[in-house]
């Protein structure tokens, strides 16, 4: 496979941008080799700067549930670009999108649009602290909630990939406000509340984890979180930036029937453009400026271009519930492609092949996967036109644009790896 243009671009990029990328996980540090510089996407496929074509199982890390350039989104963008890109003033579209989000996500009564998942989780935490007048946060090892200072503690995603448990640049005082516990560990959660209960502002959790690879919660774990936060006057924040509109229209909270106090959203609700949101109980959200004393703002928050893409995406998913069955079935077919030496964690259309034979239920069990073998697997697929996430500690995503033939092709390539 000729990758000379990607290699040249990567060489240039490293002179002008840290690590040559605008987000660390793209640099292939977890698997080695040269990242492919992409040029075009359509449906389930992407084409790189050398014209190589790939079946895409990253989908921009989640947004592309309908594949690249879905017609409803592209049509909406063409239309809005005739009207303007940003007004720095409220627009009707923002009201429409907020209303659609409130209609789709069970626990959201009021919502604020922002520009990234990081902004959403940072803001949700600030509101939780303002509402409870408390400072401490509980998060879980291996979960990633964006690059919020106080949450870059034992985080997943790019930090797990790079093997950095804690980043430099975060004041100890910030990190000290965060208690990191093992995922799926109810006794540890109970102990933390027994020790700090009246100081805890919020528990923030990926209700199905994507950022240490896919890890699935036990119902008891989420249930305990809900009960303990209620008992101790802390808020429960479901970080559904990845799972929102992915696992169901109403996200993981609809699937598990658990009502958090605040929810963060992103990825899919922007239709591939920079848009995220945080929302929840009205009495909490009314603390946010200018309605209340917790400040949060953003120049491009709710901008018409991203909102138009998001509105088209959310409305399409609302009127085409069959998308969820389709992507679930496609993902199940992929899950069946690997031998029993591989642990497959799948929830809906989120899937990770852990290169180890024993169960993966938390960061401790995830991190013992054989990352070198995963890297070999990744490159074997890449060379054959199948693009999986370049890290053992990420989830792959399947879209409604992947046809049965695409899935069969992918299954054959995966099987051939394990037979080679
Ligand atoms: P962004 O700031 O990257 O839009 O969102 C941060 C975020 C928050 N919460 C969850 C559950 C997330 O998965 C993310 C971002 N996810 C990663 C993928 N593992 C983004 C990819 C990247 O960092 O380049």
Q: Which amino acid residue places its CA nearest to atom 15 of ligand 1? A: 146
Same domain, 312 and 329: no
Q: Tell me the mean pLDDT in the region 123-128.
A: 98
Q: What ligand 1 atom has the least distance to the C-alpha of 274?
A: 4
Q: What is the pLDDT of residue 165?
A: 66
Among candidate residues 154, 267, 356, 367, the one labeled active-site is 267
pLDDT tens, residue by residue, 16-32: 999 999 999 999 999 99
Q: Mean pLDDT of all residues in the chain?
A: 97
**Residue 15: pLDDT above 70?**
yes
The domain of 106 spans 71-319
Same domain, 173 and 267: yes
Q: What ligand 1 atom has the least distance to the C-alpha of 267?
A: 4
Active site residue 239: yes
Q: What ligand 1 atom has the least distance to the C-alpha of 157?
A: 19
Active site residue 220: no
Same domain, 65 and 80: no
Query: Does the C-beta of 211 come closer than 6 Å to ligand 1?
Result: yes
Calculate how far, in angstroms, residue 268's C-alpha sits from the geometric centre of ligand 1: 12
Same domain, 306 and 332: no
pLDDT tens, residue by residue, 155-212: 888 888 887 767 889 988 888 999 999 999 999 999 999 999 899 999 999 999 999 9
Same domain, 338 and 364: yes
Q: What is the pLDDT of residue 154?
A: 83
Query: Does the C-beta of 246 come closer than 6 Å to ligand 1?
Result: no
Same domain, 329 and 313: no
Structure-token pair, residue 149: 């200072």
Looking at the chain, the whole-number percentage of residues with pLDDT higher than 70 is 100
Burial 375-414 (b: 16+ CB within 10 A, else e): bebbbbbbebebbbbbbbbbbbbbbbbbeeebbebbbebb
Q: Which amino acid residue places its CA nearest to atom 6 of ligand 1? A: 146
Same domain, 284 and 144: yes
**Residue 115: pLDDT above 80?**
yes
- Note whether 2 and 11 are within 8 A (CB): no
| CA end-to-end distance (rounded Å), the chain | 19
Per DSSP bridges, beta strands 350-354 and 343-347 are antiparallel
Calculate how far, in angstroms, residue 146's C-alpha sits from the geometric centre of ligand 1: 5
Look at residues 319, 346, 365 and tell me which one is the last residue of a structural domain: 319
pLDDT tens, residue by residue, 70-110: 999 999 999 999 999 999 999 999 999 999 999 999 899 99
Among candidate residues 54, 57, 131, 144, the one labeled active-site is 144
pLDDT tens, residue by residue, 360-407: 999 999 999 999 999 999 999 999 999 999 999 999 999 999 999 999
Active site residue 325: no
Task: Give the CATH number for residue 387.
Answer: 3.90.1150.10
pLDDT tens, residue by residue, 231-276: 999 999 999 999 999 999 999 999 999 999 999 999 999 999 999 9
Same domain, 119 and 17: no
Same domain, 238 and 373: no
Query: Does the C-beta of 238 come closer than 6 Å to ligand 1?
Result: no
Look at residues 281, 298, 319 and tell me which one is the last residue of a structural domain: 319
User: What is the count of structural domains for the chain?
Assistant: 2
pLDDT tens, residue by residue, 293-343: 999 999 999 999 999 999 999 999 999 999 999 999 999 999 999 999 999
Look at residues 319, 349, 366 and tell me which one is the last residue of a structural domain: 319
Task: Give the CATH number for residue 246.
Answer: 3.40.640.10
Same domain, 314 and 338: no
Q: What ligand 1 atom has the least distance to the C-alpha of 211?
A: 19
Same domain, 301 and 352: no
Main-chain dihedrals φ then ψ at residue 238, nearest 5 degrees: -90, 115
CA–CA gap between residue 276 and residue 303 (Å, rounded): 11
Comparing C-alpha atoms, which of 237, 280, 61, 277 is closest to residue 139?
237
The CB-based long-range contact list for 224-227 (8 Å cut-off, 24+ gap) reads 224/186, 224/189, 224/190, 225/189, 226/258, 226/259, 226/260
This prediction has a pTM of 0.98
Peptide bond into 290 cis (omega under 30): yes
Same domain, 294 and 193: yes
């Amino acid at each position: 496979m000729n990758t000379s243009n990607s290699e040249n671009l990567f060489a240039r990029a490293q002179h002008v941008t840290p690590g040559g990328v605008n987000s660390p996980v793209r640099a292939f540090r977890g698997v080695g080799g040269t990242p492919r510089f992409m040029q075009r996407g359509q449906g389930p496929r992407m084409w790189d700067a050398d014209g190589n074509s790939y079946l895409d199982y990253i989908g921009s890390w989640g947004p592309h549930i309908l594949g690249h350039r879905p017609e409803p989104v592209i049509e909406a963008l063409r239309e809005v670009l005739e009207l303007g890109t940003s007004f720095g003033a409220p627009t009707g579209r923002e009201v429409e999108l907020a209303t659609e989000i409130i209609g789709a996500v069970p626990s959201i009564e009021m919502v604020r649009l922002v520009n990234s998942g990081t902004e959403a989780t940072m803001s949700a935490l600030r509101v939780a602290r303002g509402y409870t007048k408390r400072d401490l946060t509980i998060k879980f090892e291996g979960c990633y909630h964006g690059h919020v200072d106080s949450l870059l503690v034992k985080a997943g995603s790019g930090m797990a990939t790079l093997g950095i448990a804690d980043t430099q640049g975060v004041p100890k005082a910030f990190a000290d406000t965060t208690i990191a516990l093992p995922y799926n560990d109810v006794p540890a959660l109970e102990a933390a509340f027994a020790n700090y209960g009246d100081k805890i502002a919020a528990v923030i959790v990926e209700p199905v984890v994507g950022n240490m690879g896919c890890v699935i919660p036990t119902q008891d774990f989420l249930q305990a979180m809900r009960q303990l936060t209620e008992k101790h006057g802390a808020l429960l924040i479901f970080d559904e930036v990845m799972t929102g509109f992915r696992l169901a229209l109403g996200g993981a909270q609809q699937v598990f029937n658990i009502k958090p106090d605040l929810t963060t959203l992103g990825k899919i609700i922007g239709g591939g453009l920079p848009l995220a949101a945080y929302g929840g109980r009205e009495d909490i959200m009314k603390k946010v400026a200018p309605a209340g004393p917790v400040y949060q703002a953003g120049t491009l928050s709710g901008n018409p271009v991203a909102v138009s893409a998001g509105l088209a995406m959310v409305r399409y998913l609302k009127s085409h519930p069959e998308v969820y069955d389709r992507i679930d079935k496609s993902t199940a077919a992929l899950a069946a492609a690997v031998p029993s030496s591989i642990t497959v964690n799948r929830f809906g259309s989120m899937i990770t092949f852990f290169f180890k034979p024993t169960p993966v239920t938390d960061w401790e069990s995830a991190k013992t996967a054989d990352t070198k073998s995963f890297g070999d697997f990744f490159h074997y697929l890449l060379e054959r036109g199948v693009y999986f996430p370049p890290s053992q500690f990420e989830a792959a995503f399947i879209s409604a644009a992947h046809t049965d033939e695409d899935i069969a092709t992918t299954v054959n390539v995966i099987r051939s790896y394990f037979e080679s």
